[in-house]
Structure 1
Amino acid sequence: MDALEFRLRGDHVALCDLLKLAGLADSGGQGKMMIAHGEVTVDGRPESRKTAKIRAGQTVACQGRIVRVLAAP
């Protein structure tokens, strides 16, 4: 699986926004559809909440790619 690192700018990011910002979705709307169709997992578990708060230390997987979320500098 392809792995990316995403550095937070604050305390958390909404899951649909993370998918867009990490380049896994072309838009927030597309990210929401991917979540609704069960294509996204957070820490190995399916996640259906479109605006789930993703924090540092969590891992998001979608379409064969992994995003490791890191704390803000």
Structure 2
Amino acid sequence: MARLSPGLRKRARVLRSEPTEAEKRLWRLLRRDALGGFRFRRQHPVAPYILDFACVAARLVVEADGGQHCGSLHDRERDAFLE
């Protein structure tokens, strides 16, 4: 796994402080062991990407992409990398 750059960590921190409306709603559902004890992290960096939500123990990623991402090359590349 690639090492996390300080810039990627800083960007993840900024994204956590400025969530989209969809991310706010999802976080209310995922936080504090709300799903059977599984713990999620917000804006979790996995070089070279920052994942919207990740449950490390279950190796599960939840992306809250809006219409602006619909079928984008970047999203397809990210999906292939994560699979």
Same-fold call, TM > 0.5?
no
Name whichever structure is richer in helix by fraction. 2
User: Relative to total residues, which structure has the larger strand share, 1 or 2?
Assistant: 1
Higher relative contact order (CA 8 A, sep 6+): 1
Q: Which has the larger radius of gyration?
A: 2
